[in-house]
Structure 1
Amino acid sequence: MEASLALDGDGSRIAQARHLAAVFLAGVRDIRGVPVVRATVEIAQLIVSELVTNARKYAPGPAQLHLRIAGPVLQVELCDSNPAAPTAKAPDPERIGQHGLEIVAALASAVTVEQTPVGKCITADVALGTMAPQPPQ
């Protein structure tokens, strides 16, 4: 299962991108029968918001959001026209803003950045369903 959304440079589609993530995951649950807990939907929506917002702020021109299921993982991919890889800033509780990449990295099981001929693609992996409890050690 996959879904995509073209994003223009003015950021007016952030809400639409969040909605797409929720609808896509509802389809994964209802059509594929994959357990998707509410927290997973909320995490996916927050990751989508942060990636789309960062593309709007730092990349000139359009971007493309791709959502896809790869086994037990939702891959949230945002491709934009800025070839520079994002870097997380050092933790600073007094810094206002510029926490997007920190948030994405904290919520995703993996984050990768791939250079493309026209910019870059950032992919954040989010585990679907619930994790089995670990036995006591």
Structure 2
Amino acid sequence: MQQTAGGKDQQALPGGIISVSGVFEGSEDIAVARDLTHGFLTDVQAVHGLPVSGRAMGMVQLVVSELVTNARKYAPGPCLLTLEVCGGSVEVTVWDSNPTPPAILPPDPTRIGQHGLELVLAIGQSFAVHREPVGKRISTAIVLADDPGGDVVGHHP
């Protein structure tokens, strides 16, 4: 399915990668980004036959919400969300126009707010910040299936 209305585009890419992207410009779009994520992962399971655990569905939506919220809060203009499924994981990438890397604060249970990146770091299998000619790109990967014992497949503490 390829669709550009609402700034989203879903496609199957060469090499077995399944991808969707969306452009978001307002704070109300954070919910739209979560909905895009839910619909995409539902299609990954129903159309492409790849397992997506309930845990993964919730965790990917949480990560998308946190990263898009940060982009909308700290960078002017639109942000771009891309989700790519390959090899049993989904890579979540958010681009925004602010070149400043995010401040990753140490855990502090007394701090109110600003725990989003802590969550992203705890949930993701990887985390990377790349400076771009304009802005930056933040990426993390999340495993889509749990093993039969309930453990996250591929998770290494």
CA shift, 1:86, in A, is 1.1
Instruction: Give 5+ residue unaligned stretches, structure 1.
Output: none
For 1:87, which of 97, 103, 114 is the aligned residue? Answer: 103
1:64 is paired with a residue of what secondary structure? strand
Distance 2:109 2:145 in 1: 32
CA shift digits 1:20-52 (9 cap, x unpaired) = 111100111011111111110000000000001
2:29 maps to what in 1? Answer: 13
The TM-score with structure 2 as length reference comes to: 0.81
Trace 1:1-137 onto structure 2 (pairs within 5 A): 1-8=18-25, 10-131=26-147
Distance 2:92 2:57 in 1: 12
Residues paired across the two proteins, number: 133
Q: Identity over the aligned pairs, expressed in percent?
A: 44
Instruction: Give 5+ residue unaligned stretches, structure 2.
Output: 1-17, 152-157
RMSD: 1.3
CA shift, 1:94, in A, is 0.9
CA shift digits 1:76-129 (9 cap, x unpaired) = 110000101112112211111111110100111111111111100101100011
- In the superposition, relative to structure 1, how do residues 132 and 115 fare at CA in structure 2: closer, same or farther (>3 Å)? farther
